Amino acid sequence: SASAADESEPETRADGAAPETETGVLAGDKSVSVDEPTGGLTAGLDPVLQQVEGTWIAWGDGEADFDVADERNRVAVPPDDGSYTLRRIDLSEEAVDSYYYGFSNRVLWPLCHGFTDLVENRSNDFDWYRTVNERFAEAVAENATADSTVWLQDYHFALAPRMIRESVPQSTTVAQFWHIPWPTATTFQRCPSGGQLLEGVLGNDLLGFHVDRYADNFLECVRRFLPSATVDRDRRIVSYGGHTTRVVATPMGVDAASYDQDARSASQTQLSSLFEKYDIAEDTVIGLGVDRLDYTKGIPERLAAIERFLERNPTWHGEFTFIQKATLSRTDIQAYERYGDLVRSEVERINQRFRTREWKPIVYTEDYLDSDDLCALYRRADVMVVSPLVDGMNLVTQEYIASSVDGDGTLLLSDRTGAHETLGSHAITIDPTDTDGFAGRLEAALSMPPHERKQRMNTLRNRVFDMDLDSWMETQFDWIRRVRSEIGQTGPQ
């Protein structure tokens, strides 16, 4: 059996998607409904857990107010045949503020993305981070048997792997996937309690990153800051405190077939009603950006490049509109609030500068788009702009490619994303901070001959279908099996 721990943001899910289909409701004082997620890792794990009949441990929204032993914190999924158990850990408001909005997103998120100026290490946040990691570790230990695989997701659980390792049988496999970059040693040096975090993640038998660079950065941090560890860089194996961790780079994919299918079934009426809502003329050439409203995503830099493009290309006025879909995120943190204000005021300023009575260059929306509308927009977009200053992978890139079923879209992709390391050779590469160069690439994308667009998109599509979510999951489980058999052969180390 497998048990997995996952964490989602209170206002959105981990993949930014909202629940789509309600599949069941449990009766009681406070009823619990079970919703199917629309996409991403959450949706990818659901069928896996249904097959292996495991336990999924996640935190609740803090509102349910059930105590740990309450039946409603153990929900059968699907509710009628109960293939697996969804176990919820309820966190108090203070815990969420310190663990999630505190150490996870005021320290680890900015630090791992190299935004050291934004690191805010408030007192108590690390203690809460440890406490919540302990609560998850206890819940895992209660559920794990000698045969179990524990699969942890992301940077919210840097301490839990060692705690779990020390409380489950030796033959239980502990693995983790780290969805964001691992920073260089120079940056990591500034991480409060960095040594404890390294010791924590080295409780894993397997540690996965999206790309080689993050795996190499991690190994360098271990070498520098845990001198008693033995690091085999070539085989990417670390031995520390009598335990061995294998580090791998396995770029995550999306459910390409389902994006393809949703894009193919997108109707003209659906698209027309979106264009009507945004007040865009039907034959406009469309640029598109889809991001969480996060300071890593390079939205102001993108707006600056669009402004430069409009300055240099009056013939495109009235013909080209850029749609920026921004999903509000972590708004309790001031850096996010300020970033949102900056983005909105830049949009307003650029629109004021160039707009006419019939046209404005930028349509900005924070509305949630259901997956059909999102795929319809991806399909319709002539140019997709992905310009983060740093991004672990960036799944939007792959979603766009999978939805470009007519094969005529072009992709502008920042060279600072994990996606660029796997797909960059057939995208149009941009340096998000080079406004002139970025604007020039936008011009080039819009005037690219159709046969070149098709050729590039065809190659990108093949790659995205090859590296889809299923194949990523298979790779993860292949590695887990391999690590498991290595533990079996060598015995406890």
Residue 345 CB-half CA count within 13 A: 6
200 forms part of the interface with ligand GDG (CB under 6 A) = no
The residue within the footprint of ligand GDG, chosen from 7, 32, 37, 40 (CB under 6 A), is 40
Closest residue to ligand GDG, Cβ-based?
A: 16
CA dist., res. 384 & res. 259, Å (int): 15
CA dist., res. 103 & res. 300, Å (int): 26
In degrees, rounded to 5, the angle at the alpha carbon of residue 124 between the alpha carbons of residues 120 and 129 is 85
Residue span 474-493 as binding mask against ligand GDG, x where in contact by CB under 6 A, dash where not? --------------------
Which residue is it, tokens 């336990």?
A: 55
Stretch that binds ligand GDG, among 27-35, 260-268, 363-371, 464-472 (CB under 6 A): 363-371
Q: How far apart are CB 241 and ligand GDG at their closest, in Å?
A: 29
Q: How far apart are CB 141 and ligand GDG at their closest, in Å?
A: 26
Closest to ligand GDG by CB, 76 vs 249, is: 249
Residues in region 308-337 near ligand GDG by CB under 6 A? 325, 327
Stretch that binds ligand GDG, among 33-41, 83-91, 230-238, 271-279 (CB under 6 A): 33-41
Closest to ligand GDG by CB, 307 vs 391, is: 391
Closest to ligand GDG by CB, 89 vs 252, is: 252
261 forms part of the interface with ligand GDG (CB under 6 A) = no
Q: How far apart are CB 333 and ligand GDG at their closest, in Å?
A: 14
Q: How far apart are CB 432 and ligand GDG at their closest, in Å?
A: 15
Q: Could you tell me which of 16, 191, 39, 174 has the C-alpha nearest to residue 109?
A: 191
179 forms part of the interface with ligand GDG (CB under 6 A) = yes
Q: How far apart are CB 373 and ligand GDG at their closest, in Å?
A: 8
The residue within the footprint of ligand GDG, chosen from 89, 107, 198, 290 (CB under 6 A), is 290
Stretch that binds ligand GDG, among 38-46, 50-58, 455-463, 471-479 (CB under 6 A): 38-46
Stretch that binds ligand GDG, among 122-130, 365-373, 433-441, 468-476 (CB under 6 A): 365-373
Stretch that binds ligand GDG, among 184-192, 265-273, 366-374, 441-449 (CB under 6 A): 366-374
Residues in region 382-411 near ligand GDG by CB under 6 A? 391-396, 399
Residues that bind ligand GDG (CB under 6 A): 15-17, 38-40, 179-180, 252, 290, 292, 325, 327, 368-369, 371, 374, 391-396, 399
